Structure 1
Amino acid sequence: MNVKTGIGLALLLLAPLASAQVYKCKGSSGETIYSQDPCGAGSEPMKLRSNRAASESAGEAANRAAVYRTTGMSDAAIAERNCLQGEQSRIYGPLESRTQAVNRQVAQLDRQLAAARSTPPDAGGTLPNATLESGIRAQISSLQQSLSSERVAADAQMSTARDRCASVRRDHEDRVQQQYAAPASNAY
């Protein structure tokens, strides 16, 4: 691009702002030249189009505000969903790991229980086997109760997290409503 063409394009872009006429001409070498002055006797100004209306009607402003409001409300809902997913991972992730560990321990204790039942009574009689089985059952029960208590605590934490995430969403929605409730003349 030569300097004249570059200047001509700059004039073209600035023309709507300056309300100047722009003429498209052919140079001596056949190149396109843009000028504020007519190039010859038959030169006519170019018709310039603006991509944006000079002024916005009240309906257009209301439509734009409605789109922004809807987008803001969607953003609030997405933020709440992300908040809940993060809290769910933070709260239930460790619980799920603990549940898997407890299930492995219970499976091991079940194997010990099965082995104790299949062991023939020896010189000590059946009392030692019964005591061993009772002890294993108590360990299994204790692990299951502990896990149940941890789940109840996690559910309570998640309930609190839901309330907090919902509150953040409501605050976001209120800000969006206030921002776009202004008269259309104040909108940009």
Structure 2
Amino acid sequence: MFSRVVVLGVALLFSPWASAQVFKCKGANGETVYSQDPCSAGAAPMKLRSNRASTESAGEAANRAAVYQTTELADAGIAERNCLSSEQNRIYGPVNARGQDASRQIASLNRQLAGARNNLAGATYASGLRAQIASLQQTQAADRHSADSQMAEARRRCGDARSERERATREKYSAGGK
């Protein structure tokens, strides 16, 4: 019984009803009892304290807004990095795979070139191999150049998206945007 009364008393102190009056009394056996009703004729209600102000000061509101703005600006930076990472994988992934395949072909052609005979037929064969190697290298260079151009455009798009998000965030938290 005693623990129930104490628990009820503590619950009353920290519950949403804490705005009601609470009286601290002594029970029949000397235990502390909390009640909404006065224990005796001269009983005075307890002064309850709240850990949190009921209203937010202007400084607290400004601090909260600054934290939210900083968080949203950081999120814009993270979104840009994610955008760039995604674009880099999308653009360079296939280029790198094709480049590895071309490198394997070039290595194979170089092995064949090393085994070419030192005669007219061998020279003609070696010339053909060198032409194939040059063609593969040109294709690799053109593929890389195209990917670099696509990535530059992706950087611009991701940067523009970040700038727009930052602009909207600053506008949202500026004095006129509240």
TM-score range, shorter chain: 0.7 to 0.9
1:23·1:46 contact (CA, 8 Å) conserved in 2? yes
Instruction: Give the C-alpha shift of residue 41 in structure 1.
Output: 6.4
CA apart distance, 1:56: 2.3
Task: Map Cα deviations across residues 75-98 of structure 1 (whole Å, 9 max, x no partner).
Answer: 111111111111111111111111
Partner of 1:161: 154
Shift of 1:8: 6.4
In structure 2, runs of 5+ residues without a counterpart are none
Aligned length: 176
- Return the TM-score normalized by structure 1: 0.79
Give the direction of change, closer, same or farther, for the CA distance of 1:142–1:35 in structure 2 (3 Å limit).
same
1:21-170 to 2 correspondence within 5 Å? 21-25=21-25, 34-40=34-40, 45-116=45-116, 119=117, 126-170=119-163
- d(CA) in 1 for partners of 2:31 and 2:146? 79
Output the CA distance in 1 between the equivalents of 2:104 and 2:55: 71
CA offset digits 1:152-175 (Å, max 9, x no partner):
110111111111111111111122
Cα distance in 1 between the residues matched to 2:33 and 2:164: 57
| Alignment partners' CA distance in 1, 2:115 and 2:27 | 102
Kindly indicate whether structure 1 or structure 2 has the higher relative contact order, using CA contacts under 8 Å at least 6 residues apart: 1
Residue ranges of structure 1 left out of the alignment (5+ in a row): none
- Give 3-state SS (helix, strand or coil) of 2:126's partner: helix
Normalised by the size of structure 2, how large is the TM-score?
0.83
Q: What is the percent sequence identity of the aligned residues? A: 56
* 2:81 maps to amino acid: R
